[in-house]
Structure formats: C-alpha cells, structure tokens
A and B are shown apart, each in its own frame.
Chain A
Amino acid sequence: MGKQKFAVTVDDLTVAYNYKPVLWDIDLAIPEGVLMAIVGPNGAGKSTLIKAILGIIDPIAGSVSIYGKPYKKQRKLVGYVPQKGSVDWDFPTTALDVVMMGTYGSLGWIKRPGKKEKKTALESLEKVGMLSFKDRQISQLSGGQQQRVFLARALAQDADIYFMDEPFQGVDATTEIAIINILKELRKKGKTVVVVHHDLQTVPEYFDWVTFLNVKKIATGPVKEIFNDDNLTKTYGINYKVSVQK
C-alpha cells in the first residue's frame, strides 16, 4: 500500500457522562479512501465516537485531526449523516429543502442558497434516486426514503470524509443495496466513509476496513485480516461464529 495517508486521526479520545466513561482512551487512525464499519454491541459508544469526532459531544480528553489539521479548521471536508430518528420528520419542509441544507456549511452565515446550491441539491437527490420526490413533504416519505434524503444532504456537502450513523437502520433490502452502492461509489472517488454498522453478516461484503469498539477500541484494520471470531468474541463478550469470506 506504500506510505499510507490518514484521513482521520483520533488521539486519546475519552468521553464520559457522569463519571461513567462511554469511550475510553480511543486512538484511531483511518486511512484515506477506506469504507470502514464501526461495530460493537449496544452502548459500546459507536454513535458517541462519531459525535465526539464531529464535535457534537464535548470529549473530556483527546483530539481529532483531519488530514493532519485540527477538525475545527477542516469542517468543510467532513460530511455527516445522523441517525434518521434524531429529527422530527413532521417539520414543515420538503425533501429538496432538507438536501439543500447540505450546502449551508459552504455558504456560511447569512448568505442564502441560490441557483448553484439548488442544482447541487437536485443532483444529490438524483444520485440517491429520489429526484421525483423533491417537492414531497418530508413526513410523507417512507423510512427508507427519509434515509436517502439524509444521504443526499451529506452528498450535497461534497465532503472528502463521511461519517454515517446507522444508515441501514430500518430500511428495506432495495434501499440497503442502493445505499451501499452509493457508498462504494464514494470510495471509488477516493473518499473516506465511516459507518456505524449493526449487521455483522454484511461487514465482509460491504466494507474493506473495520473497527471493533466496546468503550475501548478492541481492534482496527482491514476486514480481511482482523474480522475474525477472536475479535468478535473480544468485542461482544460471547462466542461469535461468523463465516468470513476470504
């Protein structure tokens, strides 16, 4: 692989709610251009890790750098897909409007989205196959469609690194395939994609990089090398048998 460039570097990251550590001393280096899954049991701190990296939650210790510079200076390089359930889908707005929000970051304060931003948003909707729903009120979308709208919003950010919090949660098989194809497309373009993932069966098929997390980091590396029963057992605490396709 030659000399590896790291898209994201996390040093000594520790997050605690009321004395109880949720994440303990995480060191993580994510190479550029990987499609990485974060796996771990419920309460392992997977979402918290993403939120702490993105500055949504304040860590009590640790630092995050993006391409070697502090995250706060590199925000524009980072896109985020939150959990679908984190917002009120009865909010009075349309699918296109939500996707347009992806362009707000590059616009900065006060400036209004214009034709260029609208074009970006429409293209993003098309990429996720939702163009015909652009004027649909968001509460009228199915769960899978809402997830696609969130993905389109992140695409509209045109970031280099994407963090996604359970994008496959509660979507049907068709949507799951559509989403994973978009993620693979992103990787092909050299983007780095980090996904909180629950379905262990699909890890070898979807991802090339994996991080095992259970409050502490258990292991991180290429799926082919480290996605094995040993690490799964260490992470989940019970004897796991998942056949890894090599």
Chain B
Amino acid sequence: MSFTEYFELLFNDYTLRTISLGTAILGAICGMLGSFAVLRKQSLLGDAISHAALPGIAIAFLITGTKETNVLLIGALISGLIGAFWIRGITRRTHLKSDTALGLILSIFFGFGMLLLTYIQKQPNANQAGLDKFLFGQAATLLARDVWFMATVTLVCLLVLLLFWKEFKILLFDADYAKTLGFNTKMIDILITSFIVLAIVLGLQTVGVVLMSAMLLAPAAAARQWTNSLGIMVVLAAVFGATSGVVGTAISASQNNLSTGPVIVLVAATFVILSFIFSPSRGLLFRQIRFIKNRKDLQLHKTLAFMFDIAKRHENISHPHAVKILNNFHGYTKKSLSKLEDKEYIRVEGLMWEMTEKGYDFALNLYNQQVEEND
C-alpha cells in the first residue's frame, strides 16, 4: 500500500480511521502534558509511571480473569498512580534525589510486572495469551469506544488545563512563590501528576509500556525549540504529537505490518531532530549562521573603529583621507571597504575615503551597552 492509497483508505476504511484518530488524540494529550513534565524537569517521570503500570495490568487480569482492555487499564491506572506518588513521597521524605526515586520505582515495578506476566503465561488457562501486547503496544486493537474514551479524557484534560492555566504556570515556574501567594501547590501538583498518569495509561494499549515516555517527551522537547511562550509550546507539542500519531500510523499501515508504536515514536523523534537543527532561535543551524555573521560583523566594526579614530582627530569628521593609510590596519580588505560604503558609513571617492555622519554616530556608540540595551 502506498502513502496516497493510505489517505484514500483513511476516508473509507473504518478500522484505519479509528486507529489514526486514536493515535492522533493520544499524541495530542501526551504532547500537552509532556510539556509540563519537561518543564518541571520530570522527563523521566513518564517512563517510571508507564513501567509502574505493568504490574497493575497483570494483577487486574489475575483478579478478574478477563482481557477486557478497560478493566486492565484500570489496574494500570491504579498501579501507575501508586508508582507516581511513591516517587513523590520518596523525594520529599528521604534524601534521595528524584532521579534515584524514578529509577527505583521504574525497575522495581517493571520487574514485578514481568514476574507476574511470566507467572500468568504458565497458568493452564487458554485465555492468558496477549497480555504482552502492553509491552510494545498494538494499535490495531484500538476500538471505536477506546477512541471515544480517549477523546473524552483529552477534552476533560484540556478543560482543566484552561481552567487552571495560571495555577499550572506559576507552579511550574516558581512553586515556592506560588505557595506564599496562598495557592495549594500540593493540590496543583497532584492534579498535574494524575493527568500525566492518565495520559500514559491511555497510551499503553497503543504504544506500550516501554516506549510510552517518548510520546510524552519528544513532542514537548521539539516544541520548546520553536517558542518562548508556554501557551504556544503546549499547543505546538499537541500538534507535533498528533501529527506523529497520524504519520506513524500511515507509515506502519502502508509498509506491511510495521509495529505502529515504535514507528510513531520514531516520527516524533524526527520532529525533535529537525527542531534541534532548524529552529530559528535555538537551532544548531541558525546558531552557527549567527556565529559566522557576528564574526564578519566584528571584522567590519574593527575596521570602522580604526577609521573613526582617524576621523575624530579632525574638526570636520568628513575630512577626506587616503585609502592607503588603511593598509596599515590588520583586517582591512577592499571588500570590507565597499561593504561599509554600502551601509553609508563612509564615502569612497577615488583613492580617498571620508566618514559620514551616520558612520560616525554608529562608531561612536559601538559596544556602548547602555544604548544597545535601550533599542
């Protein structure tokens, strides 16, 4: 199946449409909440929570004996929440730093989950197969009602986000200060963390325990490169996430049986790489271009400063001087002379040059911080 065929199918094929919609919604909610995780420097929180959800899935199966996704995901939600709040408790009550707490919870819960999975596989129950789909996810199992549920949760999340935008923002930037203003920072924190857990649990079926954190981080990390506004960052991250979902599903559907979760994550990673290179203000490419331009400007300014030193000794700043005297100055080239002329800092007539008012003023204020700052 080719790419165009895919888009034709998207409008005709019910299953593909459901899956694409599901991955898009998942990408959007993960992008939004991932922005908060990234800005709180809790990037690995998502990884720990998703791994912590695994034993919940296994236990839910052991108790109920059903493979009903919703039941299993409730188990995932509970153990994910337990994991998240244990991490919080460990960092607040012990001397351990958050990375240690995250690592501990991640590996202990995941280990326990794997243990339970192998135990379940040895059960003489024909029903046991397929729980391991939660390890890497299986988008093909998404049903319309799963997508509806995801859409509802995303909508609620969006509503809460809009309602408590101011509170979220101040908590992210300066939690202590928020506390002195009388905000219950613990409650805001619990609200954000709970939504992150919810988003992760929603994604387990599609992307799986192992790769879920990339869904949170990649769109947010990419979005951060393009903007200096929190609002735009959250929106961009949602767009990147949703796009990754749709494009990833398209690629995996058009190439025979490529696993959807990993493809979505790789598409999201592509967004990150492109953003790191091409972002105008923070990207590597433009930084290098600016660096080269600055170096060239500096050469030019040095030449101008040298000319300024000559010009200022005369009462008339536009007193003509021989071009020849510039030969003594290291860094002078014919090209820089014509560039300065282009900028109308100097006039060149034959073998003589003279400074203009504009050039004089510019040279006078060169590297004068006070003037530069008030621009």
Contacts and interface: CB of A to CB of B under 8 A. Distances in A.
Contacts of A111: 166
Interface in B226-244: 227-230, 233
Contacts of A51: 176
Given A93-B229, A93-B230, A132-B374, A112 B166 contact: yes
B39 interface: yes
Interface string A93-124: 11000100100110111111100000000000
A104 B181 contact: yes
A86 B166 contact: no
A113 B169 CA distance: 13
Interface in A54-74: 54-56
Contact of B174 (A82, A94, A108): A82
Interface in A183-215: none
A75 B166 contact: no
Interface residues of A, number: 32
B296 to A, nearest CB: 23
B362 interface: no
A91 B230 CA distance: 8
B312 interface: no
A78 interface: yes
B230 A54 contact: no
Interface string B37-53: 00101000000000000
A93 B180 contact: no
Given A110-B164, A112-B166, A113-B166, A93 B173 contact: yes
Nearest to B281: A137
A107 B180 contact: no
Given A104-B166, A107-B166, A75 B182 contact: yes
B163 interface: yes
Contacts of B39: 88, 91-92
A92 B230 contact: yes
A5 interface: no
Contacts of B179: 54-56
A141 B170 CA distance: 19
Contacts of A105: 180-183
B21 to A, nearest CB: 30
Contacts of B181: 75, 101, 104-105, 157
Contacts of B165: 112
Contacts of B146: none
Interface in B161-216: 163-167, 169-170, 172-174, 176-183
A104 B170 contact: yes
A139 B173 CA distance: 13
A54 to B, nearest CB: 5
Nearest to A75: B182
Nearest to A50: B180
A164 to B, nearest CB: 12
A132 to B, nearest CB: 6
Nearest to A53: B180
A62 to B, nearest CB: 18
B224 interface: yes
A55 B183 CA distance: 12
A55 B227 CA distance: 34
Contacts of B373: 132
A56 B185 CA distance: 10
B176 A76 contact: no
29 contacts: A51-B176, A55-B179, A75-B180, A76-B182, A86-B174, A86-B176, A87-B174, A88-B39, A88-B41, A91-B39, A91-B172, A92-B227, A92-B228, A92-B229, A92-B230, A93-B228, A93-B229, A93-B230, A98-B173, A101-B169, A101-B174, A101-B181, A104-B178, A109-B164, A110-B167, A111-B166, A112-B166, A132-B373, A153-B177
The 8 A-B residue pairs with the shortest CB-CB distance, nearest first, are: A105-B181, A137-B228, A75-B182, A80-B180, A54-B180, A56-B176, A92-B228, A87-B174
Interface of A: 51, 54-56, 75-76, 78, 80, 82, 86-88, 91-94, 98, 101, 104-105, 107-113, 132, 137, 139, 153, 157
